[in-house]
């Protein structure tokens, strides 16, 4: 009996000791926090205020109170919480506005973290969801308007430079345009789908970004590069026109078939209005240029002479302005995004050139088909993403078409510089030969 009593007393003393330690290490009362509202949306690089209320804080056992962010690179809290405050506060209740700073695009949660005098950290069950989006800036509008205006003016030059007899021959025997159609709307969508699954297996948004870029029609820059690299401008303009008209049917076909393998979110709108606007903005300036060619041979000669220098300046303008406008997106660049930006256009160039040569196209025509296939209208891809995805996912995903747009010109620029160097070298060698004679 004595042993049982001593064992029982030992157990009671142990339980009393455990209860004593727990009492010393924890606040005496259960505290809570409340954010009003519970969700906010803030423009990047701006600040917003939210009401925070704390209840039943035990000031005796509390050392530090902070509002923490899951990801300080997205949102930060600029307001310190005093442990003892006289205004709107008591030991049981504290209320004040806290300032949330939007650092970068994305979503994160804020929560209250309480540290006791015994260095025990507790977090609130109540959270504030913060969504950071990007407001439309004046530089975005300026970029869109200036590029649209300059491209329209350039297309007047294209219209003046068109050889209507060559264009008529291409329409009667459309071998080149047919090859370009299949490389544009078969090779590029399949290529973008495969690259997306390979590079971003766990990100539906990034897969959509690459896929939407791959199913977009040819971009207007293809005509400029065709001129600079000595391709067939007549074939280039015809292919661009066919590509943008065919996009009305081919884009929905791919989006509602292969696109559903990537996601299944109900109906997805296709930007028919944007495609139509682009097609009209291409055809109308061309028609004006053709009219000038018919009515004024003198003005036509001036426009044709200005075609290459204007094309060069426009390419440089687009590259520099696009990088400056989307500079914030470089924070999102990773090796996978760079590979995606390189892979889609560069593989498009190579595969379409190989197909064109396999089908016995001339060097200028094969070059033109490769350029038309590899250069995508990334503006339509960005529009599709912003239409299909909520913010900030839409803006975050545009890093894919932006990466494609940035990486697309590099092999063409290298080819252009090589061509200029070769031409100068040939001219110098020719001059030396003549001087010897």
Residue 379 has pLDDT above 80, yes or no: no
For the chain, the average pLDDT equals: 78
Q: At what angle do helices 399-407 and 409-436 cross, to 10 degrees?
A: 10
pLDDT tier for residue 153 given thresholds of 50, 70 and 90: confident
Contact by Cβ (8 Å): 416, 228:
yes
State whether CATH 1.20.1530.20 applies to domain 138-418. yes
The number of C-alpha atoms within 13 Å of 218 and in the hemisphere containing its C-beta is 37
Q: Do the domains 32-133 and 138-418 sit in the same CATH topology, yes or no?
A: no
Return the higher-pLDDT residue of 192 and 238: 192
ω into 392 cis (within 30 of 0): yes
pLDDT tier for residue 374 given thresholds of 50, 70 and 90: very high
| Phi/psi of residue 77, nearest 5 degrees | -110, 125
Residue 2 has pLDDT above 80, yes or no: no
Q: Which CATH number fits domain 32-133: 2.60.40.3450, 3.20.20.60, 2.40.50.140, 3.30.70.100?
A: 2.60.40.3450
pLDDT digits (tens, 9 = 90+) for 84-117: 553 444 456 778 888 899 888 888 999 988 888 8
**Residue at token pair 């995508």:** 376
Looking at residues 330-348, what average pLDDT do you find?
89
Listed residue (150, 290, 298, 126) closest to 224, CA to CA: 150
At 190, which helix (H) or strand (E)? helix 188-199
Cα dist from 304 to 309, 314, 365, whole Å: 10, 15, 20
- Per cent of the chain over pLDDT 90 is 11
b or e along 268-296 (b: 16 or more beta carbons within 10 Å of the residue's beta carbon)?
bebbeebbeebbebbbebbebbbebbeee
pLDDT tier for residue 28 given thresholds of 50, 70 and 90: very low
As a whole number of angstroms, the distance between CA 241 and CA 285 comes to 12
Instruction: Kindly write down the DSSP assignment for every residue of 256-310, as one continuous string.
Output: HTTHHHH---S-----HHHHHHHHHHHHHHHHHHHHHHHH-HHHHHHHHHHHHHH
Can you give the residue ranges of every domain in the chain?
32-133, 138-418
Residue 410 burial class via C-beta count within 10 angstroms: exposed 0-12, middle 13-18, buried 19 and up: middle
pLDDT digits (tens, 9 = 90+) for 236-270: 888 887 776 677 677 777 877 787 776 554 344 55
The sign of the dihedral angle between the CA atoms of 309, 311, 312, 316 is positive
Q: What is the pLDDT of residue 11?
A: 54
Residue 408 has pLDDT above 70, yes or no: yes
Q: How many CB atoms lie within 10 A of CB 322?
A: 16
Q: Which two tokens stand for residue 76?
A: 């930060």
Helix (H, G, I), strand (E, B) or coil at 341: helix
Residue 370 has pLDDT above 90, yes or no: yes
Q: What is the pLDDT of residue 82?
A: 73
Q: What is the CA radius of gyration of the chain?
A: 32
């Amino acid at each position: 009996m004595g042993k049982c009593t001593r064992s029982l007393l030992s157990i009671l003393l142990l339980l009393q000791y455990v209860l004593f330690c727990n009492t010393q290490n924890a606040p005496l009362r259960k505290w809570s926090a409340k954010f009003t509202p519970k969700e906010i949306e803030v423009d990047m690089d701006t600040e917003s205020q939210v009401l925070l209320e704390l209840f039943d804080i035990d000031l005796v056992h509390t050392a530090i109170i902070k509002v923490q962010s899951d990801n300080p690179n997205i949102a930060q809290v600029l307001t310190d919480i005093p442990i003892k405050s006289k205004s709107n506060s008591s030991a049981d209740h504290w209320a004040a506005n806290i300032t949330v700073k939007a650092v970068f695009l994305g979503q994160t949660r804020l929560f209250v973290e309480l540290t006791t005098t015994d260095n025990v950290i507790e977090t609130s069950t109540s959270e504030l969801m913060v969504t950071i989006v990007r407001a439309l800036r004046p530089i975005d509008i300026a970029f869109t308007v200036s590029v649209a205006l300059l491209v329209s003016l350039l297309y007047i030059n294209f219209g003046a430079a068109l050889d209507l007899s060559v264009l008529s021959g291409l329409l009667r025997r459309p071998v080149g345009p047919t090859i370009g159609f299949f490389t544009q709307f078969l090779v590029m969508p399949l290529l973008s789908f495969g690259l997306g699954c390979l590079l971003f297996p766990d990100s539906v948004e990034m897969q959509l970004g690459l896929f939407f870029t791959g199913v977009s029609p040819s971009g207007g820059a293809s005509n400029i590069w065709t001129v600079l690299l000595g391709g067939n401008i007549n074939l280039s303009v015809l292919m661009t026109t066919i590509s943008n008209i065919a996009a009305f049917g081919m884009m929905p076909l791919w989006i509602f078939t292969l696109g559903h393998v990537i996601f299944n979110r109900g109906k997805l709108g296709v930007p028919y209005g944007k495609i139509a606007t682009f097609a009209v903005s291409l055809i109308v300036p061309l028609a004006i240029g053709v009219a000038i060619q018919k009515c004024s041979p003198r003005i036509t000669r001036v426009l044709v002479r200005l075609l290459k220098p204007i094309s060069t300046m426009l390419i440089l303008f687009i590259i520099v302005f696009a990088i400056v406008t989307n500079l914030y997106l470089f924070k999102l660049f990773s090796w996978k995004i760079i590979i995606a930006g390189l892979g889609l256009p560069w593989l498009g160039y190579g595969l379409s050139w190989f197909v064109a040569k396999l089908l016995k196209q001339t060097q200028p025509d094969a070059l033109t088909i490769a350029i038309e296939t590899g250069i995508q209208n990334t503006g339509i891809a960005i529009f599709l993403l912003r239409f299909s995805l909520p913010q900030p996912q839409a803006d975050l995903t545009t890093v894919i078409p932006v990466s494609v747009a940035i990486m697309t010109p590099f092999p063409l620029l290298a080819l252009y510089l090589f061509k200029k160097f070769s031409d100068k070298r040939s001219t110098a060698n020719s001059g030396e030969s003549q001087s010897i004679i």
